[in-house]
Chain A
Amino acid sequence: MAGFLLRRIAMTIPVMLVVAIVVFLLLHLSPGDPAAIIAGDNATTADVEMIRVSLGLDKPLLTQFALWIGALLQGDFGVSVFNKVSVWTLIVQRMEPTLALAGVTMSFAVSIAIPVGVLAAWKAGTWIDHLAMGIAVLAFSAPVFLIGYGLVYEFARVWRLLPVQGYTPFSQDFTGFWQHLVLPAITLGLVFAALLARMTRSTMLDVLNEDYIRTARAKGLAPRAVLIRHALKNAAVPIVTTIGLGVALLIGGVVVTESVFAIPGIGRLTIEAVTQRDYPVIQGVILIASFVYVLINLAIDVAYAFLDPRIRY
């Protein structure tokens, strides 16, 4: 296992390098110019050119890439071309809200989806199954922004139970932290919960038709023991894979959810950086995100070994 872990971690280096090259080229070869945005709408061509020179954007692409990679190898992600704040600082500032949102969303989704999926499989073909899967289809199909605005209208505007927007750090106010995350987590989590519930149901149905389940039932085991100990444990590998893939889905969904609920997270940072062509910030965020993906995949692979004794690395 240790060898496997080391090999996988070592593999992240070429992956990161490829990501760095692709991201850099994509950004610099696509149209757009941060200098024009910094200068503002009423600036003259000369003003824009002066800013471009001061940012080093007039240098050949290869030189710019060499400078960026050189700094990156020393752990320097660069500074935002707009506010001159270090990219690492910006990412760290935005990391907590995104991690908190993703964590709460994931917990919410998993705690709802797995029991619902198991129940739907157990009661397959009954009204419980139809109702659960009907709601899942609805939740999966509804756009995130529609769910978000609907929840804000009901719970924040009409009933005034929860705040409309913003984020309060855990360290600052425990109650405020949860109050600010409830609506975004439901908004973002519903889609994922729906996906996971459907996945759990279908996997469980396959497992419940296996011979060993029939044997377990024939032995007179309690339904709960059959479901949890025998069926769910054996269905866990595809479910864990879906949870892992769901993280990617969450990161995509975070962009919209953070905008609707004005949460200052990585999603909003990315969108703003892209629209403004803040190259160092985009490059930094994508590199970190890629690294996180690699780590998540690694964690999933490790989880397989624990869930299924037949899997060995």
Chain B
Amino acid sequence: MTHGLRASTGFGRRVLFACAVLAGLLQPAAAAEKTLRAVVHADLKVIDPTWTTIYITNRYGYLVYDTLFAYDSKFQAKPQMVDTWTVSPDNLTYTFTLRPGLVFHDGQKVTSADCVASLKRWMAKVSAGQVLAKFVGSLDIVDKDTFKLVLKEPFALVIDTLGSPLTAFMMPERIASKPVNEQITESVGSGPFRMVKEEWRPGNKVVFARHTGYVPRKEPADYLSGGKIAKLDRVEWLYIPDANTTLSALMAGEIDYFEAPPLDFIRLLKDNPDLTVLNIDNLGVQGLIRPNSLNPPFNNFKARQALFYLIDQPEFMQAVAGDDSLYMQFCGAYFLCHSANETEIGAVRKPDYAKAAAMLKEGGYAGEKLVVLMPTDRPQYAAATTVLIAALRKAGVAVDIQSADWSTISVRRARKDPVDKGGWNLFITTQGGPDTANPITNGWFNSRCEAANNGWACDPELEALVGKWMREADAGKRHTMIDAIQARAYESVPYVPFGQFFQPIAFRKNVTGVLETAVPVYWNIDKK
């Protein structure tokens, strides 16, 4: 009996095994998991997009979270999580209704309470939200899908601000309502990808998996708006600090996507038949010189104006970008060339060192050493600073170069002290994308004195012009008002733009559907 059972079981096993093998052979092969291995420009260290202005965290935000509105390729804000919205005749009350089917990664439905809490956090912490907050009287839940924003006075850019890349990312209420000075460490959004936190290796790898519950919009993807269709199963962000290693890995096919190749690699990458090099951001990056408005001589607007006559843009751009296909020969627009707010009013096209010297003298410069900060571990900044120093010397300026690593420089430039007590006069930085193209989100344009970025640009008249601009409902009139704003900026000089350049990305030919957006996004991308 026992023997018979054993035999029968053995036979049964063999039959079952044979069936399983046969079934395996007959079944179509399960589709291989599609993983995009991307080397990103920085390590993701902070996963709270309201906590930092670091670009990598904003890019993480676009993967994990969804937004109420988003820009299309014409920089028009289009609804994203919002289904419908209405504006009252007095332009003071905005009522938003969420589209159906929105769910967070933890399976909870997105409600208006989540959106209100997220907006409140954003208005308290993020510069674009802080601008909107000044106009907001109340923000209330109407029902589970509807909420209402009531303004104290008309603000023409409510929808634009909600759609700008410095947008509010929608989080669950329990997370968004944490105190604003407490960093969020959970990663629960409703975007097309979710972060696989257990696979996160800070300093090395961040893994995102497709959010299976995500319902994309019906419209085709356009810039940051439209249907966010996640065609990849996984996106792996790798952080490889050595660019040469990344280049070799891309060429060898170990990685698929190189988000920010150094600009001197671009020609090499273009020559490789296995790779595509694509400039996804038509607005590019603006290089800028920041004078310290607290310390002489740049506490005098004449001295700040003199800086314009030191600028030979092609010379700066050669140092920063090298390849002349990667920069504009000249751009005098504060709000970037190719943007809706581009204007040449006031622009100084050619350097004139004698005139710069005379204006500096008029501005109170008396031959003292000016402190220029040079971050040695940021090659583009260091290169541009070298050109600036040479230009200053041509104008007869004595320069005290303070070279240090970025961390040290970032502390030094926050100091308001006089130069002889650890202060500074000039430093170089960059900014880019649609935020720069707008007077209220262009961080370095902010001239609100103590509330301005380091350098503390201070011009109430310029701020008044920007205030009028943001209250103007007519887009055509707003466009003409930009001329007056830029003309004033060329007088008061919050900063000096020294050129506009582009940062292409590179990826292997089997990667398709890369969208041309200022923020690299991973929906719509497919890998064959």
* A interface with B by C-beta (< 8 Å): 31-34, 36-48, 50-51, 53-54, 80, 82-85, 90, 93-94, 149, 152-153, 156-157, 160, 163-166, 259-262, 264, 268-269, 271-272, 275-277
Determine which of B51, B245, B429 lies in contact with A262 in the assembled complex, contact meaning CB atoms within 8 Å. Answer: B245
With contact pairs A31-B404, A45-B454 given, residues A262 and B240 touching in the complex (Cβ less than 8 Å): yes
Kindly specify which of B90-98, B146-154, B179-187 makes contact with the partner chain.
Answer: B179-187
B406 and A165 form a contact (CB under 8 A)? no
A206 to B295, CA, bound (A): 69
9 closest Cβ pairs, A-B complex:
A40-B53, A264-B204, A82-B45, A32-B407, A36-B410, A42-B443, A40-B54, A42-B53, A31-B408
State the main secondary structure of chain A at its contact with B.
helix
Kindly specify which of B65-73, B226-234, B247-255 makes contact with the partner chain.
Answer: B247-255
Residues of chain A contacted by B246 (CB below 8 angstroms): 165, 262
Determine which of B53, B204, B251 lies in contact with A43 in the assembled complex, contact meaning CB atoms within 8 Å. Answer: B53
Which of A36, A51, A156, A164 has the most chain B CB within a 10 Å cutoff? A164
* Beyond known contacts A38-B45, A41-B54, A268-B203: 9 more, CB 8 A cutoff: A31-B404, A33-B414, A39-B53, A40-B52, A45-B453, A80-B202, A163-B252, A262-B241, A264-B201
A280 to B222, CA, bound (A): 43
State the main secondary structure of chain B at its contact with A.
loop
B245 and A152 form a contact (CB under 8 A)? yes
Residues of chain A contacted by B451 (CB below 8 angstroms): 44, 46
A38 and B201 form a contact (CB under 8 A)? no
A133 to B46, CA, bound (A): 50
Nearest neighbor of B442 in chain A, beta-carbon distance: A42
Residue B145 CB within 8 A of the other chain: no
* B interface with A by C-beta (< 8 Å): 43-47, 51-55, 57, 127, 181-183, 185, 201-205, 238, 240-242, 244-246, 248-249, 251-252, 254, 377, 404-408, 410-412, 414, 416, 429, 431, 443-444, 450-454
Which of B252, B377, B404 has the most chain A CB within a 10 Å cutoff? B252
Residues of chain B contacted by A85 (CB below 8 angstroms): 202
B407 and A165 form a contact (CB under 8 A)? no
Residues of chain B contacted by A269 (CB below 8 angstroms): 203
Determine which of A39, A156, A260 lies in contact with B252 in the assembled complex, contact meaning CB atoms within 8 Å. Answer: A156
Q: List 5 A-B contacts (CB under 8 A).
A: A36-B411, A82-B45, A90-B203, A165-B248, A259-B242
Nearest neighbor of B205 in chain A, beta-carbon distance: A264
B251 and A157 form a contact (CB under 8 A)? yes
Residues of chain B contacted by A46 (CB below 8 angstroms): 451
A50 to B444, CA, bound (A): 20
Chain B: minimal CB distance from A267 (Å): 11
A152 and B201 form a contact (CB under 8 A)? no
Residues of chain A contacted by B251 (CB below 8 angstroms): 157
B411 and A31 form a contact (CB under 8 A)? yes
Nearest neighbor of A277 in chain B, beta-carbon distance: B407
Residues of chain A contacted by B182 (CB below 8 angstroms): 54
